[in-house]
Protein backbone atom coordinates (compact mmCIF):
# COMPACT_ATOMS: atom_id res chain seq x y z
CA UNK A 1 0.00 0.00 0.00
CA UNK A 2 1.52 3.32 -1.12
CA UNK A 3 1.50 6.37 1.12
CA UNK A 4 1.12 9.65 -0.78
CA UNK A 5 2.22 12.95 0.75
CA UNK A 6 0.00 15.86 -0.22
CA UNK A 7 2.22 18.93 -0.48
CA UNK A 8 0.90 22.49 -0.11
CA UNK A 9 0.13 23.53 -3.70
CA UNK A 10 1.12 26.85 -5.27
CA UNK A 11 -1.92 29.16 -4.88
CA UNK A 12 -0.65 31.41 -7.68
CA UNK A 13 -0.47 35.23 -7.70
CA UNK A 14 3.18 35.01 -6.61
CA UNK A 15 2.25 33.73 -3.13
CA UNK A 16 4.86 31.56 -1.45
CA UNK A 17 3.24 30.46 1.82
CA UNK A 18 -0.12 29.84 3.49
CA UNK A 19 -1.56 29.28 6.97
CA UNK A 20 -3.39 26.09 7.92
CA UNK A 21 -6.72 27.42 9.25
CA UNK A 22 -8.79 24.29 9.96
CA UNK A 23 -8.60 20.64 9.05
CA UNK A 24 -11.79 19.11 7.65
CA UNK A 25 -10.56 15.53 8.18
CA UNK A 26 -8.85 13.52 10.90
CA UNK A 27 -6.53 10.54 11.03
CA UNK A 28 -8.34 7.38 9.94
CA UNK A 29 -10.93 9.09 7.70
CA UNK A 30 -11.49 7.60 4.25
CA UNK A 31 -11.57 10.22 1.50
CA UNK A 32 -12.13 10.37 -2.25
CA UNK A 33 -10.35 12.44 -4.88
CA UNK A 34 -11.43 16.13 -4.71
CA UNK A 35 -12.81 15.83 -1.17
CA UNK A 36 -12.03 19.06 0.71
CA UNK A 37 -9.49 18.24 3.42
CA UNK A 38 -8.29 21.62 4.72
CA UNK A 39 -8.89 25.38 4.63
CA UNK A 40 -5.82 27.57 4.16
CA UNK A 41 -5.39 31.32 4.30
CA UNK A 42 -3.07 32.94 1.80
CA UNK A 43 -2.09 36.59 1.76
CA UNK A 44 -5.15 37.26 -0.38
CA UNK A 45 -7.96 34.91 0.56
CA UNK A 46 -9.30 31.86 2.37
CA UNK A 47 -9.10 28.77 0.14
CA UNK A 48 -10.46 25.22 0.45
CA UNK A 49 -8.02 22.57 -0.76
CA UNK A 50 -9.33 19.32 -2.30
CA UNK A 51 -7.32 16.13 -2.04
CA UNK A 52 -5.64 14.81 -5.21
CA UNK A 53 -5.54 11.33 -3.63
CA UNK A 54 -8.10 8.79 -2.47
CA UNK A 55 -7.58 6.52 0.51
CA UNK A 56 -7.20 6.64 4.29
CA UNK A 57 -5.76 9.63 6.15
CA UNK A 58 -2.60 8.27 7.73
CA UNK A 59 -1.14 11.43 9.30
CA UNK A 60 -1.78 15.16 9.55
CA UNK A 61 1.68 16.69 9.25
CA UNK A 62 1.01 20.39 9.96
CA UNK A 63 -1.15 21.61 12.88
CA UNK A 64 -3.77 24.34 12.62
CA UNK A 65 -2.47 27.89 12.94
CA UNK A 66 0.95 27.17 11.44
CA UNK A 67 2.22 28.96 8.33
CA UNK A 68 4.26 26.85 5.93
CA UNK A 69 5.88 27.47 2.52
CA UNK A 70 4.55 26.08 -0.73
CA UNK A 71 5.68 22.48 -1.29
CA UNK A 72 5.61 21.49 2.40
CA UNK A 73 3.97 18.07 3.03
CA UNK A 74 0.78 18.74 5.00
CA UNK A 75 -1.00 15.36 5.02
CA UNK A 76 -0.30 11.76 4.07
CA UNK A 77 -2.88 9.47 2.46
CA UNK A 78 -2.63 5.70 2.24
CA UNK A 79 -4.17 4.69 -1.09
CA UNK A 80 -4.49 1.00 -0.16
CA UNK A 81 -7.60 -0.76 1.04
CA UNK A 82 -8.91 -0.04 4.56
CA UNK A 83 -7.06 -1.87 7.32
CA UNK A 84 -9.91 -4.24 8.23
CA UNK A 85 -9.96 -5.83 4.75
CA UNK A 86 -6.20 -6.02 4.31
CA UNK A 87 -4.65 -9.46 5.04
CA UNK A 88 -2.71 -8.35 8.13
CA UNK A 89 -1.15 -11.79 8.76
CA UNK A 90 -0.34 -12.84 5.20
CA UNK A 91 3.35 -13.24 4.52
CA UNK A 92 4.68 -10.83 1.87
CA UNK A 93 6.31 -12.22 -1.30
CA UNK A 94 9.94 -13.11 -1.01
CA UNK A 95 11.08 -10.33 -3.30
CA UNK A 96 9.37 -7.67 -1.17
CA UNK A 97 10.19 -9.18 2.23
CA UNK A 98 11.68 -6.71 4.72
CA UNK A 99 15.43 -6.90 5.14
CA UNK A 100 15.17 -7.15 8.93
CA UNK A 101 12.98 -9.35 11.09
CA UNK A 102 11.09 -7.88 14.05
CA UNK A 103 12.55 -9.21 17.33
CA UNK A 104 10.24 -10.32 20.16
CA UNK A 105 8.26 -7.54 21.82
CA UNK A 106 9.88 -8.00 25.20
CA UNK A 107 13.39 -7.56 23.84
CA UNK A 108 12.94 -5.26 20.87
CA UNK A 109 13.75 -1.55 21.30
CA UNK A 110 10.68 0.54 20.56
CA UNK A 111 12.22 2.46 17.72
CA UNK A 112 13.06 -0.78 15.88
CA UNK A 113 9.48 -2.08 15.80
CA UNK A 114 7.44 -2.02 12.62
CA UNK A 115 4.60 0.09 14.02
CA UNK A 116 2.44 -0.46 10.94
CA UNK A 117 2.34 -4.23 11.63
CA UNK A 118 0.31 -5.27 14.70
CA UNK A 119 2.17 -8.59 14.84
CA UNK A 120 5.50 -6.80 15.27
CA UNK A 121 4.50 -5.50 18.72
CA UNK A 122 3.78 -8.98 19.98
CA UNK A 123 0.05 -8.33 20.39
CA UNK A 124 -3.09 -9.81 18.96
CA UNK A 125 -5.26 -8.57 16.16
CA UNK A 126 -6.66 -5.66 18.23
CA UNK A 127 -3.25 -4.28 19.14
CA UNK A 128 -2.97 -1.39 16.70
CA UNK A 129 -1.88 2.26 16.58
CA UNK A 130 -3.77 5.40 15.66
CA UNK A 131 -4.86 5.37 12.04
CA UNK A 132 -4.44 1.59 11.69
CA UNK A 133 -6.42 -1.50 12.63
CA UNK A 134 -10.00 -2.71 12.25
CA UNK A 135 -12.59 -0.38 10.78
CA UNK A 136 -16.25 -1.05 10.17
CA UNK A 137 -16.37 0.22 6.61
CA UNK A 138 -17.17 3.83 5.74
CA UNK A 139 -15.71 6.73 7.74
CA UNK A 140 -17.56 7.51 10.96
CA UNK A 141 -17.32 10.42 13.39
CA UNK A 142 -15.40 9.47 16.51
CA UNK A 143 -17.79 8.81 19.41
CA UNK A 144 -17.84 11.26 22.31
CA UNK A 145 -15.80 10.08 25.24
CA UNK A 146 -17.65 8.96 28.32
CA UNK A 147 -16.94 6.65 31.24
CA UNK A 148 -15.52 4.06 28.81
CA UNK A 149 -13.97 0.72 29.55
CA UNK A 150 -10.22 0.31 29.32
CA UNK A 151 -8.75 -0.65 25.92
CA UNK A 152 -7.77 -4.27 25.60
CA UNK A 153 -4.12 -3.57 24.79
CA UNK A 154 -1.75 -0.62 25.16
CA UNK A 155 -1.64 1.47 22.00
CA UNK A 156 -5.27 0.74 20.96
CA UNK A 157 -6.78 2.08 17.76
CA UNK A 158 -8.03 5.28 19.41
CA UNK A 159 -5.43 6.23 22.03
CA UNK A 160 -1.75 5.91 22.94
CA UNK A 161 -0.30 7.23 26.16
CA UNK A 162 2.15 9.98 25.31
CA UNK A 163 3.71 11.93 28.17
CA UNK A 164 0.65 11.78 30.36
CA UNK A 165 -1.93 12.78 27.72
CA UNK A 166 -3.55 11.20 24.68
CA UNK A 167 -2.27 12.38 21.29
CA UNK A 168 -4.26 10.92 18.40
CA UNK A 169 -2.25 10.65 15.21
CA UNK A 170 1.08 11.33 16.92
CA UNK A 171 3.22 8.77 18.74
CA UNK A 172 6.25 9.57 20.87
CA UNK A 173 8.05 6.24 20.58
CA UNK A 174 10.17 7.02 23.64
CA UNK A 175 7.05 6.74 25.80
CA UNK A 176 5.15 3.85 24.13
CA UNK A 177 3.88 1.43 26.78
CA UNK A 178 5.27 -2.12 26.19
CA UNK A 179 2.74 -4.80 25.36
CA UNK A 180 3.41 -6.83 28.49
CA UNK A 181 2.46 -3.99 30.88
CA UNK A 182 -0.94 -3.33 32.32
CA UNK A 183 -3.21 -1.49 29.81
CA UNK A 184 -3.81 2.23 30.30
CA UNK A 185 -7.42 3.13 31.22
CA UNK A 186 -9.33 5.48 28.94
CA UNK A 187 -9.75 9.10 30.05
CA UNK A 188 -13.36 9.71 31.14
CA UNK A 189 -15.33 12.66 29.85
CA UNK A 190 -14.67 15.87 31.79
CA UNK A 191 -17.30 16.55 34.41
CA UNK A 192 -17.95 20.12 35.58
CA UNK A 193 -16.46 20.70 39.02
CA UNK A 194 -16.46 23.67 41.30
CA UNK A 195 -12.65 23.68 41.58
CA UNK A 196 -11.06 22.53 38.31
CA UNK A 197 -7.34 21.89 38.36
CA UNK A 198 -4.88 22.13 35.51
CA UNK A 199 -3.18 19.04 34.15
CA UNK A 200 0.54 19.55 34.84
CA UNK A 201 1.42 17.39 31.83
CA UNK A 202 -0.88 19.10 29.38
CA UNK A 203 1.80 21.56 28.22
CA UNK A 204 1.14 25.03 26.86
CA UNK A 205 -2.23 25.92 25.26
CA UNK A 206 -0.48 25.86 21.87
CA UNK A 207 0.88 22.33 22.47
CA UNK A 208 -2.52 21.21 23.71
CA UNK A 209 -4.23 22.55 20.62
CA UNK A 210 -1.83 20.59 18.43
CA UNK A 211 -2.93 17.40 20.16
CA UNK A 212 -6.56 18.27 19.60
CA UNK A 213 -9.06 15.57 18.71
CA UNK A 214 -12.48 16.06 17.17
CA UNK A 215 -15.21 14.75 19.50
CA UNK A 216 -18.82 15.37 18.47
CA UNK A 217 -19.11 19.04 17.46
CA UNK A 218 -16.19 20.25 19.61
CA UNK A 219 -12.48 19.60 19.86
CA UNK A 220 -11.04 17.70 22.80
CA UNK A 221 -7.74 19.13 24.03
CA UNK A 222 -6.47 16.47 26.42
CA UNK A 223 -9.63 15.96 28.48
CA UNK A 224 -11.13 19.39 27.63
CA UNK A 225 -13.92 19.77 25.04
CA UNK A 226 -13.95 23.10 23.18
CA UNK A 227 -14.64 24.32 19.65
CA UNK A 228 -11.88 25.98 17.55
CA UNK A 229 -13.13 29.61 18.07
CA UNK A 230 -13.21 29.03 21.82
CA UNK A 231 -9.68 27.60 21.77
CA UNK A 232 -8.46 30.65 19.82
CA UNK A 233 -10.16 33.01 22.31
CA UNK A 234 -8.49 31.15 25.18
CA UNK A 235 -5.07 31.51 23.53
CA UNK A 236 -5.64 35.24 22.93
CA UNK A 237 -6.64 35.81 26.58
CA UNK A 238 -3.90 33.53 27.93
CA UNK A 239 -6.40 31.16 29.53
CA UNK A 240 -5.61 27.47 30.10
CA UNK A 241 -8.75 25.59 29.08
CA UNK A 242 -8.01 22.91 31.68
CA UNK A 243 -8.72 25.47 34.43
CA UNK A 244 -12.09 26.60 33.03
CA UNK A 245 -15.33 25.18 34.40
CA UNK A 246 -17.44 24.09 31.38
CA UNK A 247 -21.13 24.92 31.16
CA UNK A 248 -21.96 23.60 27.68
CA UNK A 249 -23.76 20.34 26.94
CA UNK A 250 -21.62 17.28 27.55
CA UNK A 251 -18.95 19.29 29.38
CA UNK A 252 -18.07 21.58 26.43
CA UNK A 253 -16.25 24.82 27.32
CA UNK A 254 -18.10 27.78 25.78
CA UNK A 255 -17.00 31.30 24.85
CA UNK A 256 -18.82 32.68 27.90
CA UNK A 257 -16.95 30.25 30.18
CA UNK A 258 -13.57 31.50 28.89
CA UNK A 259 -14.55 35.19 29.18
CA UNK A 260 -15.93 34.73 32.70
CA UNK A 261 -12.80 32.84 33.76
CA UNK A 262 -10.53 35.54 32.30
CA UNK A 263 -12.52 38.30 34.03
CA UNK A 264 -12.50 36.51 37.38
CA UNK A 265 -8.80 35.79 37.11
CA UNK A 266 -7.99 39.43 36.28
CA UNK A 267 -10.10 40.70 39.17
CA UNK A 268 -8.46 38.26 41.59
CA UNK A 269 -4.98 39.17 40.40
CA UNK A 270 -5.74 42.88 40.70
CA UNK A 271 -7.12 42.43 44.23
CA UNK A 272 -4.08 40.41 45.34
CA UNK A 273 -1.76 42.98 43.81
CA UNK A 274 -3.59 45.84 45.46
CA UNK A 275 -3.31 44.18 48.88
CA UNK A 276 0.37 43.46 48.32
CA UNK A 277 1.12 47.04 47.21
CA UNK A 278 -1.03 48.98 49.66
CA UNK A 279 1.41 50.45 52.28
CA UNK A 280 -0.16 52.62 54.94
CA UNK A 281 2.63 55.12 55.51
CA UNK A 282 5.12 57.10 53.46
CA UNK A 283 8.02 54.95 54.65
CA UNK A 284 6.18 51.78 53.74
CA UNK A 285 5.40 53.21 50.32
CA UNK A 286 9.10 53.83 49.77
CA UNK A 287 9.78 50.20 50.63
CA UNK A 288 6.90 48.76 48.60
CA UNK A 289 7.97 45.81 46.42
CA UNK A 290 8.73 46.79 42.85
CA UNK A 291 8.79 43.31 41.31
CA UNK A 292 5.00 42.93 41.26
CA UNK A 293 4.36 44.60 37.91
CA UNK A 294 0.66 44.20 37.00
CA UNK A 295 -0.40 43.30 33.49
CA UNK A 296 -1.71 46.45 31.75
CA UNK A 297 -5.47 46.42 31.93
CA UNK A 298 -8.14 48.62 30.39
CA UNK A 299 -11.33 49.94 31.96
CA UNK A 300 -13.04 46.60 31.29
CA UNK A 301 -10.31 44.59 33.00
CA UNK A 302 -9.08 42.96 29.76
CA UNK A 303 -5.34 42.53 29.36
CA UNK A 304 -3.26 43.62 26.38
CA UNK A 305 -2.84 41.03 23.67
CA UNK A 306 -0.74 40.62 20.55
CA UNK A 307 -2.00 39.42 17.21
CA UNK A 308 0.43 38.32 14.49
CA UNK A 309 0.31 40.22 11.21
CA UNK A 310 -0.20 37.62 8.51
CA UNK A 311 -2.36 36.54 5.61
CA UNK A 312 -4.72 39.10 4.08
CA UNK A 313 -3.93 41.75 6.70
CA UNK A 314 -0.20 41.53 6.00
CA UNK A 315 -0.72 41.85 2.24
CA UNK A 316 -3.10 44.80 2.77
CA UNK A 317 -0.55 46.63 4.92
CA UNK A 318 2.24 46.15 2.39
CA UNK A 319 0.03 47.30 -0.49
CA UNK A 320 -1.12 50.45 1.34
CA UNK A 321 2.44 51.43 2.28
CA UNK A 322 3.61 50.87 -1.29
CA UNK A 323 0.77 52.96 -2.71
CA UNK A 324 0.94 55.80 -0.19
CA UNK A 325 4.68 56.35 -0.69
CA UNK A 326 4.98 55.77 -4.45
CA UNK A 327 1.86 57.46 -5.86
CA UNK A 328 1.34 61.22 -5.47
CA UNK A 329 -2.27 61.33 -4.26
CA UNK A 330 -4.66 64.23 -4.85
CA UNK A 331 -8.16 64.09 -3.30
CA UNK A 332 -11.18 66.16 -4.30
CA UNK A 333 -14.70 66.29 -2.81
CA UNK A 334 -18.13 67.10 -4.10
CA UNK A 335 -21.49 67.15 -2.29
CA UNK A 336 -24.41 65.84 -4.31
CA UNK A 337 -28.21 65.88 -4.07
CA UNK A 338 -29.06 62.20 -4.66
CA UNK A 339 -32.79 62.38 -3.92
CA UNK A 340 -33.67 61.14 -7.42
CA UNK A 341 -31.16 58.30 -7.13
CA UNK A 342 -32.80 57.14 -3.90
CA UNK A 343 -36.23 57.24 -5.56
CA UNK A 344 -34.86 55.23 -8.47
CA UNK A 345 -33.42 52.62 -6.08
CA UNK A 346 -36.81 52.29 -4.37
CA UNK A 347 -38.58 51.81 -7.70
CA UNK A 348 -36.04 49.22 -8.92
CA UNK A 349 -36.57 47.21 -5.74
CA UNK A 350 -40.22 46.89 -6.70
CA UNK A 351 -39.39 45.90 -10.29
CA UNK A 352 -39.93 42.21 -10.99
CA UNK A 353 -36.75 42.08 -13.06
CA UNK A 354 -34.67 43.05 -10.00
CA UNK A 355 -36.42 40.81 -7.46
CA UNK A 356 -33.54 38.31 -7.24
CA UNK A 357 -30.71 40.84 -6.87
CA UNK A 358 -29.74 43.43 -4.30
CA UNK A 359 -30.43 47.00 -5.39
CA UNK A 360 -28.63 49.83 -3.57
CA UNK A 361 -27.27 53.32 -4.33
CA UNK A 362 -23.90 51.62 -4.91
CA UNK A 363 -25.35 49.99 -8.03
CA UNK A 364 -26.27 53.35 -9.55
CA UNK A 365 -22.88 54.79 -8.59
CA UNK A 366 -21.05 51.89 -10.30
CA UNK A 367 -23.02 52.47 -13.48
CA UNK A 368 -22.30 56.22 -13.29
CA UNK A 369 -18.56 55.50 -12.95
CA UNK A 370 -18.59 53.33 -16.08
CA UNK A 371 -20.31 56.07 -18.08
CA UNK A 372 -18.09 58.89 -16.80
CA UNK A 373 -14.97 56.98 -17.85
CA UNK A 374 -15.97 57.43 -21.48
CA UNK A 375 -15.00 61.10 -21.22
CA UNK A 376 -12.04 60.57 -18.86
CA UNK A 377 -10.35 57.25 -19.71
CA UNK A 378 -7.28 58.28 -17.68
CA UNK A 379 -8.97 57.19 -14.43
CA UNK A 380 -9.18 53.68 -15.90
CA UNK A 381 -5.46 53.59 -16.72
CA UNK A 382 -2.35 53.05 -14.61
CA UNK A 383 1.26 54.22 -14.50
CA UNK A 384 3.81 51.54 -15.50
CA UNK A 385 6.96 52.80 -13.79
CA UNK A 386 9.18 50.04 -15.11
CA UNK A 387 8.25 50.62 -18.76
CA UNK A 388 7.71 54.38 -18.26
CA UNK A 389 4.30 54.14 -19.92
CA UNK A 390 0.68 54.93 -19.09
CA UNK A 391 -1.37 51.78 -19.75
CA UNK A 392 -5.00 52.37 -20.77
CA UNK A 393 -7.15 49.36 -19.91
CA UNK A 394 -9.41 47.86 -22.56
CA UNK A 395 -12.07 46.91 -19.98
CA UNK A 396 -13.53 48.48 -16.86
CA UNK A 397 -12.96 46.17 -13.87
CA UNK A 398 -14.58 47.92 -10.91
CA UNK A 399 -13.28 46.82 -7.52
CA UNK A 400 -15.48 47.05 -4.42
CA UNK A 401 -13.48 47.43 -1.20
CA UNK A 402 -14.87 45.06 1.44
CA UNK A 403 -13.85 44.94 5.10
CA UNK A 404 -13.61 41.38 6.44
CA UNK A 405 -12.44 39.96 9.79
CA UNK A 406 -9.20 38.94 8.06
CA UNK A 407 -8.53 42.35 6.51
CA UNK A 408 -9.49 44.49 3.53
CA UNK A 409 -10.10 42.72 0.21
CA UNK A 410 -11.03 44.28 -3.14
CA UNK A 411 -12.77 41.85 -5.51
CA UNK A 412 -13.67 43.40 -8.86
CA UNK A 413 -16.49 43.07 -11.36
CA UNK A 414 -14.91 42.08 -14.67
CA UNK A 415 -15.86 44.15 -17.73
CA UNK A 416 -18.49 46.04 -15.73
CA UNK A 417 -19.15 48.55 -18.53
CA UNK A 418 -20.58 45.80 -20.76
CA UNK A 419 -23.04 44.45 -18.18
CA UNK A 420 -26.67 45.37 -17.97
CA UNK A 421 -27.95 46.98 -14.77
CA UNK A 422 -29.43 43.64 -13.62
CA UNK A 423 -26.19 41.77 -14.37
CA UNK A 424 -24.15 44.43 -12.61
CA UNK A 425 -26.39 44.18 -9.53
CA UNK A 426 -26.01 40.41 -9.47
CA UNK A 427 -22.20 40.56 -9.69
CA UNK A 428 -21.94 43.23 -6.99
CA UNK A 429 -24.11 41.16 -4.65
CA UNK A 430 -22.18 37.97 -5.30
CA UNK A 431 -18.74 39.52 -4.80
CA UNK A 432 -19.62 41.36 -1.59
CA UNK A 433 -21.27 38.26 -0.08
CA UNK A 434 -18.24 36.11 -0.94
CA UNK A 435 -15.89 38.74 0.51
CA UNK A 436 -17.77 38.90 3.82
CA UNK A 437 -17.49 35.12 4.12
CA UNK A 438 -13.74 35.41 3.59
CA UNK A 439 -13.81 33.19 0.49
CA UNK A 440 -12.78 35.64 -2.22
CA UNK A 441 -10.41 33.88 -4.63
CA UNK A 442 -7.18 35.54 -5.85
CA UNK A 443 -8.45 35.61 -9.44
CA UNK A 444 -11.42 37.74 -8.34
CA UNK A 445 -9.04 40.38 -6.96
CA UNK A 446 -6.63 40.45 -9.89
CA UNK A 447 -6.85 42.89 -12.78
CA UNK A 448 -8.83 45.70 -11.13
CA UNK A 449 -8.75 49.07 -12.90
CA UNK A 450 -10.80 51.32 -10.57
CA UNK A 451 -12.05 50.99 -6.97
CA UNK A 452 -15.12 52.19 -5.09
CA UNK A 453 -15.03 52.19 -1.28
CA UNK A 454 -18.44 52.56 0.35
CA UNK A 455 -17.63 54.27 3.67
CA UNK A 456 -21.24 55.44 3.95
CA UNK A 457 -22.32 52.07 5.37
CA UNK A 458 -20.35 53.01 8.51
CA UNK A 459 -22.01 56.43 8.74
CA UNK A 460 -18.91 58.25 7.40
CA UNK A 461 -19.40 61.28 5.17
CA UNK A 462 -16.07 61.28 3.28
CA UNK A 463 -12.36 60.56 3.51
CA UNK A 464 -9.07 60.47 1.62
CA UNK A 465 -8.86 56.89 0.31
CA UNK A 466 -5.53 55.37 -0.76
CA UNK A 467 -5.32 54.14 -4.33
CA UNK A 468 -5.19 50.37 -4.81
CA UNK A 469 -1.78 49.39 -6.30
CA UNK A 470 -1.96 48.91 -10.06
CA UNK A 471 -4.74 51.49 -10.46
CA UNK A 472 -4.88 55.27 -10.78
CA UNK A 473 -8.01 56.34 -8.88
CA UNK A 474 -10.39 55.39 -6.07
CA UNK A 475 -13.80 56.87 -5.20
CA UNK A 476 -15.18 57.05 -1.65
CA UNK A 477 -18.99 56.99 -1.38
CA UNK A 478 -20.21 58.71 1.79
CA UNK A 479 -23.36 58.29 3.85
CA UNK A 480 -26.66 59.46 2.35
CA UNK A 481 -28.37 61.83 4.83
CA UNK A 482 -31.45 64.05 4.88
CA UNK A 483 -30.19 67.64 4.85
CA UNK A 484 -31.64 71.09 4.14
CA UNK A 485 -30.89 71.84 0.48
CA UNK A 486 -31.78 74.62 -1.88
CA UNK A 487 -33.93 73.00 -4.54
CA UNK A 488 -35.78 75.08 -7.15
CA UNK A 489 -35.20 78.21 -5.16
CA UNK A 490 -36.52 76.81 -1.86
CA UNK A 491 -34.89 75.16 1.13
CA UNK A 492 -36.15 71.61 1.35
CA UNK A 493 -35.03 68.34 2.99
CA UNK A 494 -33.15 66.34 0.40
CA UNK A 495 -31.02 63.18 0.31
CA UNK A 496 -27.43 64.38 0.17
CA UNK A 497 -24.09 62.56 0.00
CA UNK A 498 -20.41 63.37 -0.46
CA UNK A 499 -18.07 61.81 -3.04
CA UNK A 500 -14.29 61.93 -2.56
CA UNK A 501 -11.97 61.01 -5.44
CA UNK A 502 -8.25 60.26 -4.94
CA UNK A 503 -6.23 60.06 -8.16
CA UNK A 504 -2.65 59.63 -9.36
CA UNK A 505 -1.37 63.14 -10.06
CA UNK A 506 1.55 61.92 -12.16
CA UNK A 507 -0.65 61.74 -15.23
CA UNK A 508 -4.16 62.73 -14.11
CA UNK A 509 -4.10 66.49 -13.72
CA UNK A 510 -6.61 68.51 -11.72
CA UNK A 511 -8.78 69.24 -14.76
CA UNK A 512 -9.18 65.55 -15.66
CA UNK A 513 -9.87 64.48 -12.09
CA UNK A 514 -12.38 67.29 -11.57
CA UNK A 515 -14.16 66.53 -14.84
CA UNK A 516 -14.59 62.85 -13.93
CA UNK A 517 -15.89 63.65 -10.43
CA UNK A 518 -18.33 66.25 -11.76
CA UNK A 519 -19.67 63.79 -14.37
CA UNK A 520 -20.29 61.10 -11.72
CA UNK A 521 -22.06 63.65 -9.51
CA UNK A 522 -24.28 64.80 -12.39
CA UNK A 523 -25.31 61.23 -13.18
CA UNK A 524 -26.24 60.61 -9.54
CA UNK A 525 -28.23 63.83 -9.44
CA UNK A 526 -30.14 62.82 -12.58
CA UNK A 527 -29.90 59.02 -12.68
CA UNK A 528 -32.42 58.69 -15.51
CA UNK A 529 -29.61 59.88 -17.76
CA UNK A 530 -27.50 56.89 -16.76
CA UNK A 531 -30.23 54.43 -17.72
CA UNK A 532 -30.44 55.72 -21.28
CA UNK A 533 -26.97 54.38 -22.13
Catalytically active residues, by annotation? 505
Is the CB of residue 219 less than 8 Å from the CB of residue 167?
no
Pairing of strands 3-7, 73-78: antiparallel
Q: Is 83 in contact with 135 (CB distance < 8 Å)?
A: yes
DSSP 84-115: GGS-TTSPPPGGG--SSPPPPTTTS-GGGS-T
- The answer to whether residues 360 and 367 touch, using CB atoms and an 8 Å cutoff, is no
Distance between CA atoms of 154 and 181, rounded to whole angstroms?
8
Q: What angle do CA 415, 419, 424 make, to 5 degrees?
A: 100
Helix runs in 51-183, H state only: none
- Residues 314 and 43 sit within 8 Å (Cβ to Cβ): yes
Integer angstrom CA distances of residue 214 from 140, 262, 472:
12, 25, 49
- Euclidean distance between CA atoms 241 and 439, whole angstroms: 30
Nearest to 137 by CA among 82, 78, 87: 82
Measure Cα distances from 56 to 1, 51, 94, 128 in Å: 11, 11, 27, 15
CA-to-CA distance for 192 and 249, rounded, in angstroms? 10
Cα Rg, the chain, nearest whole Å: 31
CA 204 to chain centre: 23
Using CB atoms within 10 A of its CB, is residue 289 exposed (0-12), middle (13-18) or buried (19+)? Answer: exposed
CA-CA distance, 208 to 201, in Å (whole number)? 10
Amino acid sequence: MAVNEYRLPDPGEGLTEAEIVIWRVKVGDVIKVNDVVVEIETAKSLVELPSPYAGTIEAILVPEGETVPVGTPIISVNDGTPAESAPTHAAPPAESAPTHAAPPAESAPVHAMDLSNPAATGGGENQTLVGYGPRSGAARRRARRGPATAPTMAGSAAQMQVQGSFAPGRVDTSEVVPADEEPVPAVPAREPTSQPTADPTAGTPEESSRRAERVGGAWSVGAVLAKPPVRKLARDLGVDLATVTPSGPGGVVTKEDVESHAGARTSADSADLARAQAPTGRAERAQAPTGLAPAPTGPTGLTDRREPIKGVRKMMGQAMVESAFTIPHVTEWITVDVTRTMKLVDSLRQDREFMDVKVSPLLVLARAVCLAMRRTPEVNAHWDDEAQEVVYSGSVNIGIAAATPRGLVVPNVKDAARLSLVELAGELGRLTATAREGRTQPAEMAGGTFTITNVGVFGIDAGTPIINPGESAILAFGAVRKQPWVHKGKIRPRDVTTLALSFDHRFIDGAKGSQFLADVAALLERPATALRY
